[in-house]
């Protein structure tokens, strides 16, 4: 969810995750980034 004009968003690469599925959700909690995939995996 973005709160401002998306054209002003500054994205920086932080790493990569090997997967065989499409990332469908992101959650940043407690200093960790969780990624949910369409095959129900969470990394």
Residue 25 in domain: yes
Total number of domains constituting the chain:
1
The phi, psi pair for 31, rounded to 5°, reads: 80, 5
Residue 6 has pLDDT above 80, yes or no: no
Residue 41 in domain: yes
Q: What is residue 32's predicted lDDT score, i.e. its pLDDT?
A: 87
Residue 3 in domain: no
Q: What is residue 23's predicted lDDT score, i.e. its pLDDT?
A: 86
Q: What is residue 7's predicted lDDT score, i.e. its pLDDT?
A: 64
Q: What is the pLDDT of residues 13-32, one digit of tens each?
A: 777 888 788 888 888 889 88
Q: Which domain holds residue 36?
A: 19-43
Residue 26 in domain: yes
4-41 core/surface letters (b: 16 or more CB in 10 A; e: else): eeeeeeeeeeeeeeeeeeeeeeeeeeeeeeeeebeeee
Residue 11 in domain: no
């Amino acid at each position: 969810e973005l709160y401002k004009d998306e054209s002003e968003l500054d994205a920086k690469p932080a790493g990569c995750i090997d997967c065989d599925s499409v990332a469908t959700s992101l959650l940043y909690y407690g200093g960790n980034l969780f990624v949910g995939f369409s095959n129900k995996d969470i990394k």
